[in-house]
Chain A
Amino acid sequence: MVNKLIKEDTKMFLTGNEVLAYAANAAEAEFMYGYPITPQNEIMHTWCKLLPKTEAGFLQTEDEISAGFSTLGGILAGKRAFTATAGPGNVIMQDAQSMAEMMRIPFVCAVMQRGGPSTATVIYAQQETRLTCFGGNGEGFRIVYSTAGHQDLYDYMIKAFNTAWKYRFPTYVLADGYQGKMREPVMLYDPASRGISMVPTEKALLGPGQIGIDRKSVHMRNTYNMEEELMEVLEGYQKDYDKMAEEVAEYEEYKAEDAEILIIAHGIVARSARTAIDELRAKGIKAGLFRPITIRPLAVKPLRAAVSRAKQILFTESANGQLAQMVLEKLYGLNTPYSTLYKMGVGVTGDDLVSKVESMIKEPAMI
């Protein structure tokens, strides 16, 4: 067990990366593996700075391939381990992430998106949305929480550990360089004070007693001989995933009930949408927001209901429609027209959205 630092409600003024390190500690994480990449470095720095007090562990590996697999190794050895990465690091960690899907390992990873493709910028983007949901050579058996600020980072990092350990699918906190680097006030708390009990850390391997006498042998497979054998396993996973999806899918609506123009945005862009919606409402324009919090799996029923109510949809992202692609698939059969405001690797501001929505009033989107 590690020492938990936050015992009572503590308001702090932190960067998002610092918040994540505190949240992992609050979630009783015991070990972090990682490799430096901007803009997630300060998660590692903060985690390490707190080590004398937390008595947790840290290992800097030689790259993200190793960081990913070391995290899996730590978890298999019975530790509540996690990692964090960004950009090209997220790309090369996909191998380990796929293994977590295949072997149902409760892998937790914070992704602080930066500009892409490749090295691009160290600043900000939403261009790892598709990668984080569907990277690797699999089916995307993953849960991805997209956060919109520091309170979210704290709340959902804690939740990510519980989701991962309960359902045994890799779970992500998907944020970005803005959230990692920016400073804003946040309330840190002990999860127990909010009625949150942490799912216990169980040893997958190396359980107590002797195999065959005290316990069954554990066989975690990553390799299959027969095509059908694989499919049978994956169909089971899919069934588990679908059942879990209804329990974990989360979303947030803001003035969406009577919205004629519904903005669909995730993460920090959804916050800009709120600013825009307040301005538009003040001008008498009925705009609203649908923000998927889990961008995988999506909360499909409420999403379809909100879209059905609206006259027009606006997709906006700091990417070229990565979320929109995932959402549109779930809107099959609906015919609400949509428009887009995509800024690849660049922040979307409230002003951007106000002028876009105003242009949609003048010239409505077509089906």
Chain B
Amino acid sequence: MSRTKIVLAGEGGQGVQSIAKILVEAGYEAGKQVLYIPNFGVEQRGGVSIAFCQIADETIGEPRFSKGDIIIMLSDRAISRCETYVNENSTIVYDTSVCTIKPTVKCKQVIGIDANKIANEDPSLGARVFNIIILGVLLEATHVLELSDIKNAMEKALGKKFDAKPELRTKNYNALDMGIKLLKEQQALV
């Protein structure tokens, strides 16, 4: 029985909930059991935004879990809020170009990537696809779904926008590939 527990955390507006929705939609369409809880405060913008996602082969019991298999931290506040979801079996991914602190909690592995910087500097990407890079990272780190599952879910969510502006599709797909590449590079270093 396999179940992957994912925590995605960042500042409100970074697109954490958007990629969580794409992820679970992809899981659902791929025939997996999925459960997603968004968690945020009363603010319209700002504040720490957390998505708890589970993808499993069998029926999911608990909606909230204590410790995640992979915790993605996209801001300093996300790091301090989410260390509680980490144990010795967890992998942490954090963005070194956004965060000024490093996760210090004991875990299996800490992976730092500079997705935000790359998104801003690479002309084939752009600041707005930062979260999609993270989605690529997550896909490569967990292997719970296929790249094609994610692309199908993105087409379902954003297909109309993509059709109106084809360069958006290219940028989003580039971002996914970039995320996968970044994680592969980091894992090669370990």
Contact = CB atoms under 8 A, between A and B. Distances in A.
Interface in B5-29: 21, 24-25, 28
A349 B28 CA distance: 23
Contact of B66 (A178, A184, A185, A351): A351
Interface in B74-102: none
Contacts of B63: 149, 178-179, 182, 268, 271-272, 347
Given A181-B38, A183-B24, A185-B28, A272 B33 contact: no
A349 B35 contact: no
Nearest to A347: B64
B62 A275 contact: yes
A350 interface: yes
B65 A350 contact: yes
Most buried by A among B24, B33, B63, B67: B63
B34 interface: yes
B109 interface: no
Given A122-B42, A123-B39, A185 B62 contact: no
A182 B34 contact: no
B36 interface: yes
B22 to A, nearest CB: 12
B60 interface: yes
A341 to B, nearest CB: 13
Contacts of B123: none
Q: Bin the interface of chain A by size.
A: 20 to 34
A185 B58 CA distance: 12
B160 to A, nearest CB: 18
B55 to A, nearest CB: 11
A349 B62 contact: yes
A179 B62 CA distance: 12
B34 A349 contact: no
Contacts of A149: 63
Contacts of B28: 13, 185
Contacts of B37: 178, 181-182
B34 A184 contact: yes
Contacts of A181: 37-38
A122 B41 contact: yes
A352 interface: yes
B33 A185 contact: yes
Contact of B64 (A13, A184, A349): A349
Nearest to B59: A274
A344 to B, nearest CB: 15
Interface in B37-56: 37-42
Interface of A: 13, 38, 121-123, 149, 178-179, 181-185, 268, 271-272, 274-276, 278, 347, 349-352
6 contacts: A38-B42, A182-B35, A182-B63, A271-B62, A272-B61, A350-B61
